[in-house]
Structures are given as structure tokens and as C-alpha cells.
Amino acid sequence: MVDSLKVRLIKEKLFLLTIAVLTIATVIPLFHILFSITAEGLPVLLKGGWGFITGTLAPPGDGLGGIGPAIVGTFILTFLASLIGLPVAVLTGIYAAEYPNSRIGRATKTLLMIMMEFPTILVGLFVMDIMVLPMGSYSAIAGAFSLAIVMMPYVAVYTDESLKNIPPKYREGAFALGLTRAKVVFRVLMGLARKGIMTGILIGIAKVAGETAPLLFTAGGASRVYFSGLNRPVGAIPLLIYNLVQQPYANYHEIAWGASLLLMVIFLALFLPIRLSLKEVKL
């Protein structure tokens, strides 16, 4: 009996040790990325100063200049993509949760899962065909539309899963009070599922804020000109980084590291405060 107990204790400790090792192995790459970007990018920001944030790209081999147009373009593209994609995505998630057994509901859920794994570069090609070529130019609205398509499945799936995780008693109680389906969904269930839904929204925004592939065929990447209209090419930090690292100039590689750090800071500044401020609803 004593030997059996010792064996079980040893197995438990080995299991806990294995979980701890695997957890550390999982987070090490994340911390390595954060450390590398900070170590390489911080000296560039200190060297470039405020001009690195507000200025325009320097000539090849001649200083740093700035990435102001790319920063502004990233915010504009993310805002427009959210404006286009979030309402559609949330409503799609609600429909999938409310009618899971209908033919359209099942097809919607399947399509959303496919879109989450769909190569984003193909989304860029699709938008180029339906918007860029007919317009005859790269544009901010085409870039935003491609990012909206990339964003929607993440938000919709999180909305669907968050609503499904609410115990049925809350829905039944709301219906028992005489509320319509719309009021039950938007006044009761959405409030209970807000943490999961907001998590999906944040993940969707973070996803498109760092996307490069769709913008290659839609946005154009104006790195020396600030935003000048929805029908004009626009810059973006990920697109700028992609273009700079392919150049043979040392100063462009420095700018790419600085831009990477700024992109990481923008993401963390948007994601962490909102995510930490959300209070979990006890069900």
C-alpha cells in the first residue's frame, strides 16, 4: 500500500514537472521575440527621437528619417477595417449561435472555420480583382476591405462560442419574462458574453494590424506621403517592414527594427489595458 502511494506521488510529480517544462518551452519563444525586438529596436527609437515617429522615410543609406506615414496608415486601415468588419462579424456570430441547427447556420459555421485558416494573400488577390483593378489604383479602402475580410471570421467565431457558453437558464428566464428574441440576445446574452466577444474583437484587430500579405495587392504602401484619401495608396507598418528588410541598406534594416518595436508597442498598448479592464461575468 505504501509503495503504491509512493508510485502515485512520483507519477504526480513527474506529470507536474512535465507540464511546467512544456509551459516554459511554450512561452520562451514569445519572450525571445519580445526581447529581440526591444533590444534591436529601442536603440533605433532613441537615435531617431520624435522625428522617427513623425518624419518620412530617409533615402537609401542616409540616416533614419521616420515612419510617420506608415503609423498613420496602420491606424486608418485598422479603424476602417473594424468599421467595415466588426458589425458584420458580430451579427454573423449571433446568427450562428441562435440557429446552430439550421442549414444556413451550419454552413456559416463551416465557412467561418475555413476562412480562419484561409491564406490571407489570396484575400488580397481577391480584393485586387474586384476593387484595385476596376479603380485603376491601390487605395486605402481596398486595403481596409481586405483586412475586414481577414478580421471577420475571428470575431464571428468568438461571438458564436461566447454565446453558446452561456447556461440555458438565462435565456429561458429572459423568454419567461416576455422578452423578444432580439431583446434576449442584445440586452441579456450579449452582456453576459461581453468578455469573450471583446476578446475576439481584440484578436481580430491585432490580427489585421500586423497583416502584410493582403496589403501587398491592395494598399500600395506609400512610405513617404501621408494619408491623402480613401482612393489613394496608403502606408502601413507591417508593409513597410516587409519592404525594408528586402533592401540591402543598413539604415533600412535599422528602420525596420524600430518600426517592429513601435508596432509591438501599439499592439500591447491597445490590447492589454482593454483586456485587463474587462471583468469576467460569473454565471
**24 residue type, one letter:** I
Cell representation of residue 77: 486601415
Q: What is the pLDDT of residue 82?
A: 94
DSSP 3-state of 65: strand
CA distance 126 to 142: 10
Residue corresponding to grid cell 541598406: 249
Per-residue pLDDT, 140 = 92
3-state helix, strand, coil split of the chain in percent (to 5) is 75, 0, 20
Q: Average pLDDT for consecutive 10-residue bins of the chain (283 residues)?
A: 74 88 90 91 89 86 85 93 94 90 87 88 93 92 94 92 87 83 86 86 88 90 84 91 89 92 85 65 50
Domain residue ranges in the chain: 2-48, 68-277
Q: Nearest 5 degrees, angle CA 33-CA 39-CA 41?
A: 90
CATH number of 68-277: 1.10.3720.10
pLDDT of residue 6: 79
The answer to whether 74 and 263 are in contact (CB under 8 A) is yes
Contact 184, 267 (CB under 8 A): no
* Stated pTM of the model: 0.86
